[in-house]
Amino acid sequence: MPSEGTFRRRARRLLPRLRRWRAALHAEPELSNEEVRTQATIVAALREMGIEPVTFPRFTGVVGWVDRDRPGPVVAARADMDALPIQEATGLPFASRVEGRMHACGHDVHMTCLLGLAALAATGAVPLRGPVELVFQPAEEEGRTGGAKPFLARGIFDHPPVDFVVGQHVTPELPVGTIGWRKGPVYAAADRFRITVDGVGAHAGYPHLGRDAIVSASEIVLGLQALVSRRQDPSDPAVVSVGMIHGGTRHNVLPDRVVLEGTVRTLRADTRTRLARELKRRVRGIAASLGARARVEWVPGYPPTVNAPAATELVVGALAEEFGERALVELDHAAMGAEDFAYYLERVPGTFLKLGAGRPGRRESLHTPRFAPPDETLVVGTAALAAAVTALQRGG
């Protein structure tokens, strides 16, 4: 059983408020860049603590500061705000009241934990040695620019300059009460591609009179797999997946156009650049060999999320003091999902943690209708942020 450190005890005393905030946020889920009610809930909660929120025109993010003018290392803590287009089936008393919308990725928990940190810090229950910036960020699920990039463009890390950043994400792959950590890459870069294959339409009974776009597209799907299986160093993980194929209107008509869409996941910048180049060349070559033409649109997404080793060591040391060594899980590999927290880590050193949400006898997954982290994640997540902030300020 993980130990009950000072921050965890203090967070547990906050549990009635944490539950109230979580219920309000969970019941009103909003999609990326639509987080208007969510913003209002956060603004009201911060003002209730005596923290004056900062908002921005035509942007749903919220920033709060604790001891903004205090000298010392500046640490930003971030939580994401957006929900997913999923119909909830948890049966929770505070289940989503919005049809087809749900906090199926646990962002309601992330926001609640950040409000918990705010409440502790505002009352002096976190021994600060510098300012703390509370970053409530929209649109993490948007997948292209995300909310972090436009938030940074609004200068949130500049006045005063932020020295470190910390964030966390619930995961049912780890038991409740544990925290996953890793130095270096923790999430992959996630790029998208769209391939348009143009052939020549024909009657399905006379395929020789056309240039079959469906066959060309099929060959492309198979050919892309060799980019990883035969062109990629096995010690450098990468994924190429086609997720959508659209083409054709009848069973007996060969269409003249098929569209494929998919994603490429990588951990290293040079691998990311090389796979983009090789994918385009391979797609065009396969199409040409079958008498078709192919156009490739490459849409860059989030970069890899890379934890700074020194900052991560500081945070892990503090978490061990707070929760005990047995509560910490060193992750042996990076996940091939993606996170726009990566943009913050490109600006300043920091770390991104995995907050255990798994329960015995239950098989749960993110982005599913029944995902519902238990209350203990609110306590552990709040305490983890408090421990991380103090460690980074003490070490910085």
pLDDT tens by residue, 173-182:
999 999 999 9
Q: Which residues pair with 239 in a beta bridge?
A: 265
- β-strand pairing of 305-307 with 184-187: antiparallel
Q: What is the pLDDT of residue 1?
A: 39
State the greatest distance between any 2 C-alpha atoms of the chain, in Å, as a whole number. Answer: 79
Question: Vertex 77, ends 120 and 332: CA angle to 5°?
Answer: 115
Q: What is the pLDDT of residue 139?
A: 98
Distance CA 267, CA 334 (A): 8
Q: What is the pLDDT of residue 270?
A: 95
Single-letter amino acid code for the residue at 25: L
**Summary mean pLDDT of the chain:** 96
Distance CA 178, CA 174 (A): 7
Q: What is the pLDDT of residue 362?
A: 85
Q: What is the pLDDT of residue 197?
A: 98
Q: What is the pLDDT of residue 10?
A: 97
pLDDT tens by residue, 357-375:
999 888 889 999 999 999 9
Question: Vertex 180, ends 179 and 181: CA angle to 5°?
Answer: 120
**Chain-centre distance of CA 294, in angstroms?**
32
Q: What is the pLDDT of residue 4?
A: 73
The number of C-alpha atoms within 13 Å of 249 and in the hemisphere containing its C-beta is 6
Residue 3 has pLDDT above 60, yes or no: no
The DSSP 8-state label assigned to residue 142 in this structure reads: G
The DSSP 8-state label assigned to residue 290 in this structure reads: T
Distance CA 186, CA 180 (A): 10
Distance CA 370, CA 16 (A): 23
Q: What is the pLDDT of residue 134?
A: 98
Q: Which residues pair with 198 in a beta bridge?
A: 257, 293
Q: What is the pLDDT of residue 144?
A: 85
State both tokens at 268.
Answer: 């290293």
pLDDT tens by residue, 210-226:
999 999 999 999 999 99
- Which residues fall within 8 angstroms of residue 16, CB to CB, at 6 or more apart? none
Please count the other Cβ atoms lying within 10 Å of the Cβ belonging to residue 85.
12
Distance CA 319, CA 380 (A): 10
Q: Please report which helix (H) or strand (E) contains residue 194, including its range.
A: strand 189-198
pTM: 0.94
- Delineate the domains of the chain, giving CATH numbers in brackets: 6-187+304-395 (3.40.630.10), 189-299 (3.30.70.360)
Q: What is the pLDDT of residue 2?
A: 43
Mean pLDDT confidence for 124-153: 96
367: alpha, beta or left? (left if phi > 0; alpha if psi -120 to 50): left
CB 315 within 8 A of CB 182: no
Q: What is the pLDDT of residue 220?
A: 98
Single-letter amino acid code for the residue at 202: A
Distance CA 391, CA 384 (A): 10
Distance CA 110, CA 43 (A): 16
pLDDT tens by residue, 325-343:
999 999 999 999 999 999 9
pLDDT tens by residue, 252-306:
999 999 999 999 999 999 999 999 999 999 999 999 999 999 999 999 999 999 9
Q: What is the pLDDT of residue 327?
A: 97
Residue 184 has pLDDT above 70, yes or no: yes
CB 323 within 8 A of CB 344: no
Distance CA 377, CA 364 (A): 15
pLDDT tens by residue, 56-92:
999 999 999 999 999 999 999 999 999 999 999 999 9
Q: Which residues pair with 258 in a beta bridge?
A: 197, 247
